Structure 1
Amino acid sequence: MATSEMKSYSLSEMKDKFIGEKGTEKRENYEYELRMDVLGRMIKTARQERNLTQEQLGELVGVKKSQISKLESSTNSATIDTIIKVFKALKAEINFNVTLENQILKLS
């Protein structure tokens, strides 16, 4: 009985093949949208855990409910300043790590 082996691919290989290799515009857009989606879900989860409505969070941050809605649904690119304000209003810790020429810079 002949057996055929299936080739398996890593997630990175699949992204390279179907989305584009790292550094290409299509891949960079994909990665950015993915990060914004994760960030939006984190904001929504933290807001719900604090029993806040989008309107209440918006008032704490100084923005309209619609901007909170856009952040949560990842349809809006937000400034770092707005993201920091949102997480501070949620009393959540946020950290940014930046690697610059093999040095890690942290912003808390």
Structure 2
Amino acid sequence: MKTKNNTLTTLEQFKSKHYGERGSAKREELEAGYENFKIGALLHEARLEKGLTQEQLAEKVGTTKSYISKIENNIKEVRLSTLQKIVERGLDGHLELSIKL
């Protein structure tokens, strides 16, 4: 995005301007939504990489195709324990988390 003085606006500047500084309610809601979207996108990508359909993944995990679809499409939030089950049992992977302060 270009500003009037012809310099580029960074994503961080854009978010601060339109959603407030980090820590504000509106900004935290935006950031949380992005994290949920990212989880769904990562699961979708990993599933395709493994050559699995949503139905096959759901069967391996013991859930429904509809539930997998809702996670991948950011319609439903996934619990950490369920995410771990999907990654480990369904995708034969390993879930890693980190905390950044």
TM bracket, shorter-chain basis: 0.7 to 0.9
Q: Distance in 2 between matches of 1:54 and 1:20?
A: 37
Which structure has more helix as a fraction of its residues? 2
Cα distance in 2, alignment partners of residues 44 and 36 from structure 1:
13
Distance apart, 1:7 and its partner CA: 4.2
Deviations 1:29-81, CA, capped at 9 Å, x for gaps: 11111111111111011111111111111111111111100010011111000
Aligned length: 97
In structure 1, how many angstroms separate the alpha carbons of the residues matched to 2:65 and 2:6? 50
Residue 97 of structure 1 pairs with residue 98 of structure 2: yes
Distance in 2 between residues matched to 1:26 and 1:7, nearest whole Å: 26
1:33-44 pair list within 5 angstroms: 33-44=33-44
Letter in 2 for 1:71: I
Choose between structure 1 and 2: higher strand proportion: 1
Rate the CA distance shift 1:21–1:46 in 2: closer, same or farther, 3 A. Answer: same
Q: TM-score normalised to the size of structure 2?
A: 0.85
Map 1:59-78 → 2, pairs under 5 A? 59-78=59-78
Q: Comparing 8-17 with 64-73, which one deviates more in the overlay?
A: 8-17
RMSD: 1.8
Identify the residue that residue 12 of structure 1 maps to in structure 2: 12
Gaps of 5+ in 1: 103-108
Query: Residue type of the partner of 2:63?
Result: V
Aligned match of 1:105: none
Letter in 2 for 1:95: E
Letter in 1 for 2:26: K
TM-score (norm: length of structure 1)? 0.80
User: What letter matches 2:10 in structure 1?
Assistant: S
